Amino acid sequence: MKFKRTIIITGGAGFIGSHVVRLFVNKYPDYKIINLDKLTYAGNLANLSDIENKPNYQFVKMDICNFQEIYELIKTQHADGIIHLAAESHVDRSIKDPFTFAQTNVMGTLSMLQAAKLYWESLPEKYEGKLFYHISTDEVYGALEMTHPNGVTPPFTTKASSQSKHMAYGTAFFTETGKYQPHSPYSASKASSDHFVRSFHDTYGMPVIVTNCSNNYGPYQFPEKLIPLFINNIVHRKPLPVYGKGENVRDWLYVVDHARAIDLIFHKGVIAETYNIGGFNEWKNIDLIKVLINTVDSILGRRPGEDMDLITYVTDRAGHDMRYAIDSTKLQRELGWEPSLQFEEGIEETVKWYLDNQAWMDNVTSGDYQNYYKEMYETK
C-alpha cells in the first residue's frame, strides 16, 4: 500500500508516545506510522497491543543514539515527519545518573536531527513538506514562586485562561518567551535538546517545532511517577512517600489531551514556533494525593479517606522545583486547542484504568522490571 506520509514517532512504547502512536495510527490510516523505540525499562510494547496489527503501524527497536542506523531508517523509509518523544524522563533517576540523561536526551536528539538533515537535504525538494517536531517539557523554564496577591491565600482563580475552573498558586506563568532556567539534570538535558532543535532551524533551515508541556497523567504511565506509583501503593496499602512537606505545585494535563495537542500542532503549527501545552490545572502535591486516596478508597469500597495514614513524609528531592504553571493561551488562541477533560473526570478515569489493569501494573513491577524497580524505589 502506498502511504500519503511516513512519520517516525520516537519513544512510542513509552507513556505519552504510546498515546500519540495510537491516535495517529487510528486517525490516519493513510499515514505509515513507525514507532522507533529502544525499549528501555520505560518502553513497553504491551502499551500498544490494541493497534500492533494495524497495516499502517510498524515497530522498530532502535537506539536514537545510533546515528548510522537512524539515518538508514529515515532514508529507506522516506520519512517526511519525525515526532520525537524518546527520552529519559524521570527527574529522580537524573539525579542518580545524569550521564544517561545527557547521552539519550542531548546526543540522541542530535543524532535524530543530523540523520534527518542529511536525508532531507539529499532530496530534490529538500525540506519542503518535512517536519521535525520535538516534544519537550515545562521544566526547562525552571520553577515559579508561590505568591499571595493582595494577601489572598492560594489557590485562587485567575483570568489567565478561558478555563472557568483555573486555580493558581501564583501570578506568574511559564510562557513561550520565558527564560530557560533548568535545575535538574533531566531538565538541563531537555533544555539542551530544545536548543539543538532550534539551532537546526536557524543554521540549516530545517522545519522544526518545539512544544513544552506540563505534567501528564493517565493510563500506561510507568509507576515511578507520582500518580501511578501512589495509586498502586494505596491499592496495596504501602506507604506513600511524600517529598518534603508535599507543598510543591504541579500543573496536570490528561495525556490524551497532550496527544490531541501534538496532532493539532503537527498538522497546523507554524514552523519554528514554540507552543506551551497545559491544562491550567495546578495542584499542591498533598491535595492531589488526598484526592487519589479518596478516589481509590471509594472505588474499592473502602471508607473514603481510610488510607490517609499511608501518607509518609520523606526527605525532599534535591533541587525540588516549587511550582510549575503553564500558560497555554497561545495554543488555545492560535490553534483552538482546549483540554477535553476536567481534572476530576480525568483522575477518576485514570484510577479506574489502573484498577482494571492490575495485570499491566503487576507486569511492570515484577520480573525483569522488578530488580530495577526495587533498586530505585525500595528505599522510599
Active site residue 138: yes
Q: Does 209 bind ligand NAD (CB under 6 A)?
A: no
By a kind-dependent CB cut-off of 5 to 8 A, residue 43 interacts, out of ligand NAD, ligand DAU, none, with ligand NAD
State which of positions 46-85 bind ligand NAD (CB under 6 A).
63-65, 85
- Between helices 185-204 and 109-121, what is the axis angle to 10°? 20
- Between helices 226-235 and 343-356, what is the axis angle to 10°? 50
Please name which of 88, 84, 113, 108 lies closest in space to residue 98, comparing C-alpha atoms.
88
Distance in Å, CB of 279 to ligand DAU, minimum: 12
Q: Does 241 bind ligand DAU (CB under 6 A)?
A: yes
Binding mask 109-148 for ligand NAD (x = CB under 6 A): --------------------------x-x-----------
Distance in Å, CB of 260 to ligand DAU, minimum: 17
Please name which of 285, 283, 227, 232 lies closest in space to residue 255, comparing C-alpha atoms.
227
Residue 108 near residue 64 (C-beta atoms within 8 A): yes
By a kind-dependent CB cut-off of 5 to 8 A, residue 15 interacts, out of ligand NAD, ligand DAU, none, with ligand NAD
Q: Which region, judged by CB under 6 A, interacts with ligand NAD, from 15-23, 239-247, 280-288, 352-360?
A: 15-23
Please give the grid coordinates belonging to residue 318: 534535591
Of the candidate residues 25, 32, 34, 40, the single one contacting ligand NAD (CB under 6 A): 40
Using CB atoms, what's the residue nearest to ligand DAU?
137
DSSP β-ladder status, 131-137 and 81-84: parallel
By a kind-dependent CB cut-off of 5 to 8 A, residue 91 interacts, out of ligand NAD, ligand DAU, none, with ligand DAU
Go through the chain and tell me how many residues it has. Answer: 380
Residue 342 near residue 165 (C-beta atoms within 8 A): yes
Q: Within 13 Å of residue 92, how many CA atoms lie on the same side as its CB?
A: 14
Q: Does 87 bind ligand NAD (CB under 6 A)?
A: yes
Rounded to whole angstroms, the Cα distance separating 233 from 239 reads 7
Q: Does 276 bind ligand DAU (CB under 6 A)?
A: no
Size of the site for ligand NAD (CB under 6 A): 30
Q: Does 294 bind ligand DAU (CB under 6 A)?
A: no
Of the candidate residues 189, 214, 274, 350, the single one contacting ligand DAU (CB under 6 A): 214
Of the candidate residues 6, 7, 9, 14, the single one contacting ligand NAD (CB under 6 A): 14
Q: Does 137 bind ligand DAU (CB under 6 A)?
A: yes
Q: Which region, judged by CB under 6 A, interacts with ligand DAU, from 155-163, 236-244, 266-274, 355-363?
A: 236-244
List active site positions.
138-139, 186
Per CB under 6 A, residues contacting ligand NAD are 10-11, 13-17, 37-40, 42-43, 63-65, 85-89, 104, 108, 135, 137, 190, 213, 215-216, 222
